């Protein structure tokens, strides 16, 4: 076990240093979700006047979406870094060492997780500066960070699956718009009960992204909503479990080919 921890630490440090040394990666991942938040809060502020809308501040309603977009960047980062290591042959060289596969996989994703954590802290700081009030209080903020990190792991594992399946950074980049579309087919901009178009409401209800957003949103708007949190954590855990399991299987297959 100590060997696995040591190996994980070495690969994690490499992944984190590589991520933090790329300003072109850091700046968009912090700025883009905040810009989109500002645009949505300005353009959709009138939605708060709808009967049944859960808050009179659209910033409170939308702040959780920034965490989701941060997780999306985590998916792209994790996949791109792994694909880069495949293309340069670094992963093949690792396969010739006694490194354990769990350490290889999780260590490669460490940079994306740190990026997601830093993004979460930035989004919270900006949100509080803009007047966001978390009904669940300080413990709720901690739970928000934990859920945001779990969501980042879930999406990051999907990026890893794409990278290990294709070995191409370009293919991983193509995952970004696909996942981004699922965001807009969810309860991203309106509560599901206020979506009047039947097919859109049905798609949003079946879309797991809705429950991730609503889990984060519930801590801000209503406090401790057990149902919303259970759904949010449950969906994130399922996606993370499936993604990590699939990534581990693909990594094993790729290593056996070398």
The model's confidence at residue 3, banded by pLDDT at 50, 70 and 90, is low
Whether this model's pTM surpasses 0.75? yes
Name 20's Cβ contacts closer than 8 Å, sequence gap at least 6: 26, 111, 114
For residue 70, give the H/E element and its range: helix 58-87
User: Looking at the predicted structure, is the pLDDT value of residue 244 above 90?
Assistant: no
User: Looking at the predicted structure, is the pLDDT value of residue 76 above 90?
Assistant: no
What's the pLDDT at 213? 92
- CA–CA separation, 195 and 188 (whole Å): 11
- CA–CA separation, 51 and 237 (whole Å): 34
Which of 45-54, 80-89, 178-187 comes out lowest in average pLDDT?
80-89
- What's the number of CA atoms in the CB half-sphere (13 Å) around residue 169? 10
Tokens standing for 221? 């708007």
What's the pLDDT at 4? 63
What's the pLDDT at 215? 93
Give 195-212 pLDDT, tens digit per residue: 888 899 999 999 999 999
Distances (CA, A) of 256 to 14, 85, 96, 250, 251: 24, 16, 10, 10, 9
> Beta-strand (E) ranges in the chain?
none
Over range 220-234, report the average pLDDT.
Answer: 92
What's the pLDDT at 231? 94
- CA–CA separation, 146 and 84 (whole Å): 28
Name 176's Cβ contacts closer than 8 Å, sequence gap at least 6: 72, 75, 76
Tokens standing for 81? 């870094």
User: Looking at the predicted structure, is the pLDDT value of residue 255 above 80?
Assistant: no
User: Looking at the predicted structure, is the pLDDT value of residue 257 above 70?
Assistant: no
What's the pLDDT at 212? 93
Residues of 38-67 as b/e, b for ≥16 C-beta within 10 angstroms? eebbeeeeebbeeeeebbebbbbbbbbbbb
Q: HEC states along 160-200?
A: HHHHHHHCCHHHHHCHHHHHHHHHHCCCCCCCHHHCCCHHH
What's the pLDDT at 102? 67
User: Looking at the predicted structure, is the pLDDT value of residue 145 above 70?
Assistant: yes
């Amino acid at each position: 076990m100590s060997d696995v921890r040591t190996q994980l630490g070495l690969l994690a440090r490499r992944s984190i240093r590589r991520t933090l040394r790329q300003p072109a990666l850091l700046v968009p991942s912090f700025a883009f979700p905040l810009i989109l938040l500002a645009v949505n809060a300005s353009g959709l502020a009138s939605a708060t006047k709808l009967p049944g809308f859960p808050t009179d501040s659209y910033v409170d309603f939308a702040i959780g979406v920034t965490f989701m977009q941060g997780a999306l960047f985590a998916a792209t980062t994790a996949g791109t870094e792994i694909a880069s290591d495949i293309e340069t042959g670094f992963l093949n060289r690792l396969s010739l060492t006694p490194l354990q596969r769990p350490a290889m996989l999780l260590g490669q994703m460490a940079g994306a997780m740190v990026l997601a954590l830093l993004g979460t802290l930035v989004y919270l700081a900006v949100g509080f500066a803009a007047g966001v009030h978390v009904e669940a209080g300080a413990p709720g903020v901690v739970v928000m960070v934990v859920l945001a990190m779990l969501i980042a792991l879930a999406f990051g594992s999907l990026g890893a699956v794409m990278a290990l399946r294709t070995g191409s950074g370009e293919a991983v980049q193509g995952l970004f718009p696909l996942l981004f579309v699922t965001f807009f087919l969810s309860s991203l901009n309106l509560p599901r009960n206020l979506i009047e178009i039947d097919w859109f409401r049905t798609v949003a209800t079946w879309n797991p992204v809705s429950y991730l957003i609503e889990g984060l949103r519930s801590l801000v708007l209503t406090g401790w909503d057990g149902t919303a949190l259970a759904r949010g954590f449950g969906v994130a855990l399922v996606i993370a479990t499936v993604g990590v399991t699939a990534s581990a299987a693909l990594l094993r297959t790729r290593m056996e080919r070398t």
